[in-house]
Chains A and B, each alone.
Chain A
């Protein structure tokens, strides 16, 4: 009796431990997500200010050439400044005016230039244009700067606050979806910076990684598991080394890439091509090991059945063993790729940590990747970059969740076919 009681108590205790650890893990995860999301969700909106722009013929095209090559050299900056002055005609004095100009992002000039480029006939007319607000204004509108603080403790002084409140009362300022975040590269002005370079860099690097490590990894696993001679010293040596490689810190692979790909083969620095190659070195053992486990788990009776029918070794492997091992191999590959997507250390070494504004056009153009972009922006103190850092983390997490869901889906799908 006593024995039974203590046994049941033991079981209950063990269950409780399990539930406690799961709850702890989930709580911590929730805290992480809440902190990231609460900081980052505002980054998906940006603040715009409506500017009444008079496309002055005198400023843009005094000689009426209607030739873009001449017009593009016009003083667009002056045009923007004039428009801001038109909005607040009462502001006078140099320093006040300079302060006034700063509520608009410096990108407004280029935005207006593009508008003129698209439609030259706009010259001479008056248009209301929504231009990007400066990051400090953006932060104030989003509530990241507290208006009730004393003036000397906030980045927006009382006069600027008055202007912004005037714009708000006239409905000349609004928050819209932040397209800039997804369509531009890095910038020193947080309101103009985006993650497109990092997104494309990650995509290119992952493509290279997949193309290199998937076929090589699977072929290695199949050879070692199905065709390699057993009890061979050399094969054992290779196996031990593959297992060791999986445990090598990723930054070492970065150093290897630097020494071999960059210094010896003189491949381009900061390029997704080299990044992908380094990542595939790192991913290879992470594909090979689960792929071998998947092949090993195929019941030998299937192989024997095929051989007994007169199938050759190759036929038995490719017609019967591989299809059964596919879900396991794919899961391993996708999880390896997800790890590669989240990797930053080896990429820092080969120079993918750079301030890159131009969108990469191919595999050899300089780029960063999402985790490196997080690293870069996390380093900057400006409030605008803090929310953008959290936003990149969210984008990266979404990709990771998507990839892992795909892995689970594929496994379920193929398993259904087998059993």
Chain B
């Protein structure tokens, strides 16, 4: 992990005291996170993180393992609710509504903020049913024709329709890993969310499948706000407009991707970018 003891000490002290470097604000925010603190039991996982996420932008979150980037992502659609010991403090506005409020309806929130997971997790049902499930439970289609339309459109947007149009009845688990991940994206798109969260969506895929997903992200950006957590820095550089760097639960630096990867302001960011720890 670390090159030497000295750097370790240095980063620890810096991480504890640091304020976020760079510009956390955007002109046209869809999500505004203010002073987010997350704890697992008594153990803090995220320390006072504040960031805006703009409309139609791709925000990449990078950082070493265990830095809290996935935890932060899961705050955005309250998936952390499923973990009993997890506690989230702070304010998180989606379209001017505080989604951390106890009164927020998690079901409709998750319909607005979709999520794609690290490992492709299609339901053990047919390809068609995988995509149709979301629209069905949210009552988005009045009849079979409307449902067909939603399913076909979503598969098409995910770039999967041509590949699977002859076998929509085949189980979703029968297609390749990359196709499964695109199926999961199609499933998420089908409920027409505003934001799509992606938790290392390519970590289980080969380079060709990864390239396809990245192309897809590029296309999806026109209609959706995308927040992507990734381990691959090149991927962050390729797909995102802005990048946020997390370190030991702190949001260390936020800025335009090009700037982060060329002229990082914070020493920790620089160390991570140049591969001195990972």
Q: Using a CB–CB distance below 8 Å, which chain A residues touch chain B?
A: 229-231, 299, 301-312, 315, 319-320, 323-324, 417-419
User: Which residue from chain A places its CB closest to the CB of B115 in the assembled complex?
Assistant: A308
* New A-B pairs, 8, CB < 8 Å, besides A302-B124, A323-B124: A301-B121, A304-B115, A310-B107, A310-B109, A310-B111, A310-B138, A315-B137, A319-B133
B121→A305 contact, CB < 8 A: yes
- Are A418 and B124 touching (Cβ within 8 A)? yes
**Cβ contact within 8 Å between B121 and A302:** yes
Whether B84 pairs with A230 at a CB distance below 8 angstroms is yes
> From B184, which residue of chain A is reached at the shortest CB distance?
A305
Task: Tell me whether B261 is interfacial, beta carbon within 8 Å.
Answer: no
CA distance A307 to B116 in the complex (A): 11
1/0 per position for B121-141, CB-CB distance to A under 8 A? 111100000000110011000
Given the interface pairs A301-B117, A305-B121, A315-B137, the reply to whether A419 lies near B173 with Cβ below 8 Å is yes
- B179 CB to closest chain A CB (Å) equals 16
Taking CB atoms and an 8 Å cut-off, the chain B residues in 81-130 that contact chain A are 82, 84, 107-111, 114-117, 119, 121-124
Minimum-distance CB pairs A-B, first 5? A310-B111, A301-B121, A308-B115, A310-B110, A418-B124
For this complex, 18 residue pairs linking A to B, each with C-beta atoms less than 8 Å apart, are A230-B84, A303-B82, A304-B121, A305-B122, A308-B77, A308-B115, A308-B116, A309-B110, A309-B137, A309-B188, A310-B134, A310-B138, A310-B191, A312-B107, A319-B133, A417-B124, A418-B124, A419-B173
Q: How far is the CA of A33 from the CA of B42 in the complex (A)?
A: 62
The answer to whether B187 has its CB under 8 Å from any CB of chain A is yes
Chain B residue with the shortest CB-CB distance to A315: B137
Which residues from B are CB-within-8-Å of A310? 107-111, 134, 137-138, 191
B7 within 8 A of A: no
Min CB distance B126 to A, Å, is 10
Q: Distance in Å from the Cβ of A353 to the closest Cβ of chain B?
A: 48
Closest to B111 in A: A310
- Inter-chain contacts of B82 with A (CB < 8 A): 303-304, 307
B8 within 8 Å of A (CB atoms): no
Which residues on B sit within 8 Å (CB–CB) of A229?
Answer: 84
Tally of chain B residues near chain A (CB < 8 A):
28
- Where the two chains meet, the residues of B that have a C-beta atom closer than 8 Å to any C-beta of A are 77, 79, 82, 84, 107-111, 114-117, 119, 121-124, 133-134, 137-138, 171, 173, 184, 187-188, 191
* Docked complex Cα distance between A309 and B79 (Å): 11
The CA-CA distance from A301 to B187 in the complex, in Å, is: 14
**Given contact pairs A309-B191, A419-B173, A304 touches B134 in the complex (Cβ within 8 A):** no
Please give, as numbers and ranges, the residues of chain A lying within 8 Å of B114 by CB-CB distance. Answer: 308-309
| Bound CA–CA A301/B107 (angstroms) | 18
Least Cβ–Cβ distance between A139 and chain B, in angstroms: 59
> Which residue of chain A has the shortest Cβ distance to B123 in the bound complex?
A320
Task: Enumerate chain B residues within 8 angstroms of A299, measured Cβ to Cβ.
Answer: 121
Name the B residues within 8 Å of A307 (CB-CB).
79, 82, 110
Given the complex, which residues of B lie within 8 Å of A302, measured CB to CB?
121, 123-124
How near does chain A come to B258, taking the closest CB pair, in angstroms? 31
Partner of B110, one of A231, A308, A323: A308
A417 to B79, CA, bound (A): 29
